[in-house]
Amino acid sequence: MTSEDGEVRRGEMSETPTFTKCEETMFTSVPENVDDFHRRYQSPLSSRYTSPEMSYNFSDHRKFTTWRKLWIYLAKGEKKLGVPIKNTQIEEMEQFVDKIDFQQASEEERITRHDVMAHVRVFGRCCPSAAPIIHLGATSCYVGDNADLIMMRDGFNILLPKLARCIYRLSEFAKKYKDLAILGYTHFQPAQLTTVGKRACLWLADLLMDLHNLTRARDDLKFRGVKGTTGTQASFLQLFNGDEKKVKELDILVTKMAGFKSSYKICGQTYSRKVDIDVLCTLASLGATIHKICTDIRLLSNLKEVEEPFESNQIGSSAMPYKRNPMRSERCCSLARHLMTLSTNSLNTAATQWLERTLDDSAIRRISLPGAFLTADIILHTFQNISEGLEVHPMVIDRHIKQELPFMATENVIMAMVKAGSNRQECHERIRVLSHQAAAVVKDQGGDNDLVERIKADSYFSSIHDEIDSLLDPKSFIGCAPNQVTEFIEDEVKPALRPYHRQLEVYAVLNV
């Protein structure tokens, strides 16, 4: 019921709303005549952008074959330390490492609501003689956490050569343009000159920090190992009849089989979720670097000074055929923002873990950990493609310099006049007046900066007329930039790239 003024009275229900035909038919049933792939939502990270190697690294096949390998490592270690496990049982498990019935595993999980036990049962059906010893003494995190650590380690190993290639391409670009003067900008307002190569070195310096950080984050990863349900290894102590030495040996054996140098000595049911913070924040920092660089490229593209590659058949706009949009850099910025936000998930998860563990970490980690590595993979691949085709337009750069350089050169003019015997204050005032006149031409009339012409036409400056052109040479305004580029590349970039020297000649091709 409603009052005369149209308001619904408290405690009374409004009339049942009516829907238009459009609203009733907005949702339709799932079509049966469309293939399964195209009638389900697919994450663009995996279906559109990421590399095959990174996509596979976090795929179900990689994850669950890794689980099976971990069960084999556990069985081998237990057998070596005296648990009655037969060679034939281990051989049977090894025969079915990559022969996984995913449909059967899904059906089991629907019944059990437990992914690990679903795969234990399916693996056991493949290996009936080994079924009694699969997962012996272990908890779910033995396969879950250890597999995550393996996939993150391998994810870093995929990313690092790609980052190295980005650094290498940019260093070659920086060397090529180390002497090319260009307007510097502070507050996105013209400032002192720099060089195209020196600006690229600003980008390189940040990327080198990321190379160091990714390497450290990878090398800091340890194995969770065999720690039991709450990290006390009680089940394994019972398995070995109280022999703590064997418990420790088992942990070491399995850790080495998994390719790690050491395991975390202290765990709850899981490894500390602060490890995920370190991983995701390191990747988020990489995202911040790529975002900054690609934002710079977008700004320079607007100025038409430096542009990302643009192919002959590429279309910038469906409506405006002349457009040359920096879509690669825009993609990097877009995905870099996503990458940066994922670190928040790891912070919230670590902060809300109760005592030895709570399961509300599980679902979000299935999304954020693979998502971070896939996103980092995409932006590095895309940025490498950008860095391999950056276009520089010296004539445009020179025109922009000529528009601003006369103002920047006024201090040099004053110094030359003083050396010629003029009064510094008087000279300053004359240049101030001429500068404002020239600025009015630029701002109010849309003309070119004619300050130099005004100085040359003023008899007061006749004593230095022959010097004015040399005072305006852009190279006299770039300081030590060229040598800084050379020294930086020789002293810092080249040493950092040595571990990747065999992987630098791989080129990045975009599919979309």
pLDDT string in tens for the chain (512-residue length): 444 454 445 445 555 555 555 555 566 688 888 888 888 888 888 888 899 999 999 999 999 999 999 999 999 999 999 999 999 999 999 999 999 999 999 999 999 999 999 999 999 999 999 999 999 999 999 999 999 999 999 999 999 999 999 999 999 999 999 999 999 999 998 888 999 999 999 999 999 999 999 999 999 999 999 999 999 999 999 999 999 999 999 999 999 999 999 999 999 889 899 999 999 999 999 999 999 999 999 999 999 999 998 877 777 777 787 778 898 999 999 999 999 999 999 999 989 989 888 888 888 889 999 999 999 999 999 999 999 999 999 999 999 998 888 888 888 889 899 999 999 999 999 999 999 999 899 899 998 889 889 999 999 999 998 888 888 888 889 999 999 999 999 999 999 999 999 999 999 888 88
In a domain, 17, yes or no: no
Same domain, 371 and 256: yes
Q: Could you tell me if 90 and 63 are in contact, meaning their C-beta atoms sit under 8 angstroms apart?
A: no
Structural domain harbouring 420: 396-472
Same domain, 117 and 244: no
Same domain, 222 and 369: yes
| Catalytic annotation, pick one of 14, 317, 462, 476 | 317
Please count the other Cβ atoms lying within 10 Å of the Cβ belonging to residue 498: 8
Same domain, 331 and 446: no
CATH number of the domain enclosing 75: 1.10.275.10
Q: Hey, what are 213's tokens?
A: 């950080």
CA distance 148 to 223: 10
Please count the other Cβ atoms lying within 10 Å of the Cβ belonging to residue 148: 25
Burial per residue of 70-98, b for 16 or more beta-carbon CB atoms within 10 angstroms, e otherwise: bbbbbbbbbbebebebeeebbebbeebbe
What is the DSSP code (8-state) at residue 325?
Answer: -
CA distance 396 to 383: 24
Same domain, 117 and 163: no
Same domain, 292 and 265: yes
Same domain, 230 and 355: yes
- pLDDT score recorded for residue 15: 56
Cα pseudo-dihedral 287, 288, 293, 299, rounded to 10: 120
- pLDDT score recorded for residue 243: 96
In a domain, 29, yes or no: no
Same domain, 103 and 192: no
Same domain, 214 and 108: no
Q: Is 59 a catalytic residue?
A: no
In a domain, 493, yes or no: no
Same domain, 377 and 424: no
Cα pseudo-dihedral 48, 53, 54, 59, rounded to 10: 90
Same domain, 383 and 411: no
Q: Is 381 a catalytic residue?
A: no
| Catalytic annotation, pick one of 3, 29, 187, 312 | 187
In a domain, 20, yes or no: no
Q: Could you tell me if 204 and 174 are in contact, meaning their C-beta atoms sit under 8 angstroms apart?
A: yes
Q: Total structural domains in the chain?
A: 3
Same domain, 403 and 439: yes
In a domain, 207, yes or no: yes
In a domain, 141, yes or no: no
- pLDDT score recorded for residue 17: 56
Residue 34 has, within 13 A of its CA and on its CB side, a CA count of 8
Beta bridge partners of 391: 307
